[in-house]
Structure 1
Amino acid sequence: MTDHSRQIEDFGKNDDFWLFGYGSLIWKPPPHFDQRVPGYIEGYVRRFWQASEDHRGTPEAPGRVATLIDRAHWDTLTDHHGATERVWGAAYHIPMPYVAAVREYLDIREINGYSIQFTPFVPSSTSTSPTSDPIPKTINTLVYIGLPSNPQFLGPQDPDALARHILKSRGPSGENREYLFQLEEALGALGNESGDAHVSDLVRRCREIEAEGGGEEGASLEAFHKIGSTDEQEEVEK
């Protein structure tokens, strides 16, 4: 067994299972959590460079969802968007009796190209604990990342083409644009500095295309909500 495999196996045995969410987990949290803490990680860049064949697209027409790219690797790429020093999201503590069940839930939810990594998480300065125990200054968190080596990783994309692709994509969990719009809204609710320029730029481009009548390829969100798919299907995450 490798050291990484052993770390995965042992994580949570000391009631220290913390999960970092940077995509749909921000607004659609895992089950059984007893603490949710907004904050950020460093050393990564969030990008809509992961194909989604199981939630916001199909194998025939994959959608686009967020993943994290190691900053050192991102620096070697040509990207139309700059990068911030921090990736904001939310960390969830899972009590020890529920770790196995939550791990099984997450492994199913993140099956489409994501793998387990670990990274330090810094809680927001305004975070408070629901218990008498103080929140640590840094927390070692488990995070699901679509690494560049996974078959769903797409790499740098033209922002306008990416926005148009998001607008036309949909899958069992709903419309791809809904994922993007909800992510921007959820990030804004985390704090004054929690925005993401890449996400906001894609939202702006999508809104402009919609206003010009160019987003008709996807069904309206209202119509999609009527069949209840977003509430009934699992999100891909990160």
Structure 2
Amino acid sequence: MTTADHTRQLATFGQNDDFWLFGYGSLIWKPPPHFDERVPGYIEGYVRRFWQGSEDHRGTPEAPGRVVTLIDRAHWDTLTDAHEPTERVWGAAYHIPRAKVAEVREYLGCMLMRRHGQTDIREINGYSIQFTPFIPSSSPSTPMQTLVYIGLPSNPQFLGPQDPDALAAHILKSRGPSGENRDYLFQLEEALGGLGSGAGDAHVSDLVERCKTLEAKAGKGVTVAEADGEEAGKKNEGEGLKKVGSTEEQEEVEK
């Protein structure tokens, strides 16, 4: 989609009472205001990862937490990752009545501003607006267009691939205005389980298990940092993160 097409879609989306918002993180269990319909389902062509820094909800500017974002599958294929992707990213789509679209846009931080004849998007902590087809689990033959917030790899809060043990340890120690970072992770896994059979995410579940392991060791008098170091020490040489492509290709992608 060109910039001009994206601008036009932003300006007209919802005018025909067709405003659907896709939630793949906290929106699954914390719905937006004024929705009149919630539909479980999934999108394709993306990978969900805890690779987005959070300075305003699950962390602070001095100590950012970790929250999920979506990575285009074609881009993910060029990166290093310890976890395999799922074929589908499950979540929930919310229908917003036309009369409430403007209010919900403002609530979510989606303010459209006219500047020199252009429509600009104000990013919220690195997230920007994209559009993607959504497939309802109850009616997979009738996909619908949804608006979704994504922290693109070009945004300053995008952190890229991380070692799972270090990521789990970081989530356990992080907190922000919206609460503990661990609660966000655990609630996401629980919310995905409530969407239906096959709605789980291996990346999310693996981080939950790593966090529980670290917490169990901490309960036995071992600090999270010590437990994390012990888990890292158990890895055999060559295990863990695997290189995809050449060093030059990896550096170019991550710039």
Q: Select which of 137, 147, 150 maps to 2:152.
A: 147
Using the alignment, how far apart are the partners of 1:81 and 1:215 within structure 2? 26
Q: Give, in angstroms, the shift of residue 111 of structure 1.
A: 1.1
Deviation beyond 6 Å, 4+ runs, structure 1: none
Using the alignment, how far apart are the partners of 1:184 and 1:6 within structure 2? 36
| Identical positions, percent | 79
Using the alignment, how far apart are the partners of 2:150 and 2:48 within structure 1? 10
Q: Which consecutive residues of structure 1, in runs of 5 or more, have no partner in the other structure? A: 128-134, 218-238
Counterpart residue number, 1:182: 187
Using the alignment, how far apart are the partners of 2:209 and 2:23 within structure 1? 23
1:111 aligns with 2:116: no
Structure with larger Rg: 2
User: Matched residue of 1:167: which SS?
Assistant: helix
Contact 1:164 1:215 survives alignment (8 Å):
no
How many residues align? The count is 209
Contact 2:217 2:224 survives alignment (8 Å):
no
Counterpart residue number, 1:194: 199
**Superposition map of 1:28-43 within 5 A:** 28-43=30-45
For 1:101, the aligned partner's letter is E
Counterpart residue number, 1:93: 95
1:123 aligns with 2:128: no
User: Matched residue of 1:92: which SS?
Assistant: strand
Q: Give, in angstroms, the shift of residue 107 of structure 1.
A: 1.4
Contact 1:168 1:215 survives alignment (8 Å):
no
Return the structure number with greater relative CO, CA threshold 8 A, min gap 6.
Answer: 1
Using the alignment, how far apart are the partners of 2:38 and 2:189 within structure 1? 18
Counterpart residue number, 2:213: 208
Q: Pairwise CA RMSD of aligned residues?
A: 1.8
Counterpart residue number, 2:165: 160
Q: Give, in angstroms, the shift of residue 3 of structure 1.
A: 1.9
Contact 1:167 1:215 survives alignment (8 Å):
no
Using the alignment, how far apart are the partners of 1:196 and 1:80 within structure 2? 14
